[in-house]
Chains A and B, each alone.
Chain A
Amino acid sequence: DVKVTQSSRYLVKRTGEKVFLECVQDMDHENMFWYRQDPGLGLRLIYFSYDVKMKEKGDIPEGYSVSREKKERFSLILESASTNQTSMYLCASSSHPPGGLGVGNEKLFFGSGTQLSVL
């Protein structure tokens, strides 16, 4: 089974701090994603990556950056944390990008999530 591991389950940070959220997957997946999940809003895509050193902005990239130096690791960075970034952050990976084959290989495997509180 694919395992997607997020470094922390809970984090508490102060406004203005730089925050690193780490995600590692063990199935050699090309594609990795960072989402945030807020009640009533579903999942919103922050950034994604289809290859090492490649990154693309999602729907809500403002205030975030990412790093993908190795295939298995995708990091989300909050340059200067703000209270409106308090949320559940979910990392995901897939073997094929959306629309790639249309045969179910685009399914996402999620990590357990990091609940970030910015005070």
Chain B
Amino acid sequence: GQQVMQIPQYQHVQEGEDFTTYCNSSTTLSNIQWYKQRPGGHPVFLIQLVKSGEVKKQKRLTFQFGEAKKNSSLHITATQTTDVGTYFCAGLMDSNYQLIWGAGTKLIIKP
């Protein structure tokens, strides 16, 4: 079936280091959404990317949507303890408008 692969599953970083998570779809996406889930919390919407090659920034977070609209990434510069949580992408399939979720990348800050 249609899938959105998200890697890595976990990423351990020292505070101040950068973090990146990637999502790849086997089929073209209409758009892609990103969510953050804090430990013990629920997913909270961060951003939606719609256009081919789109890049959006939110402070230290940079979101990209690939030219072919099949992949996306989230990059966090200089991580802080408040960034801890699991980041999910959710791609809207062009073919049937079904939202397909990646498995998430858990950001862990090393003490």
A residues touching B (Cβ–Cβ < 8 Å)?
40-45, 90, 97-99, 102-104, 106-113
Indicate with 1 or 0, residue by residue over B48-78, a CB within 8 angstroms of chain A CB atoms: 1010000000000000000000000000000
Distance to closest chain B CB from A118 (angstroms): 21
**Residues in chain B near residue A45, CB distance under 8 A:** 99
B residues touching A (Cβ–Cβ < 8 Å)?
6, 9, 30-31, 33, 35, 41-45, 48, 50, 88, 90, 92, 97-99, 101-104
In the complex, which residue of chain A has the Cβ closest to the Cβ of B89? A42
Some 12 contacts from A to B, beta carbons below 8 A apart, are: A40-B9, A41-B103, A42-B6, A42-B101, A43-B43, A44-B101, A102-B50, A106-B92, A108-B33, A108-B35, A108-B45, A109-B45
Tell me whether chain A's interface is mostly helix, strand or loop, or mixed. loop
Of B44, B99, B103, which contacts A98 at CB under 8 A?
B99
Distance to closest chain B CB from A62 (angstroms): 15
Task: Assess whether B30 is in contact with A99, with CB atoms less than 8 Å apart.
Answer: yes
- Tell whether A98 pairs with B97 under 8 Å between CB atoms, given A42-B102, A43-B88: yes
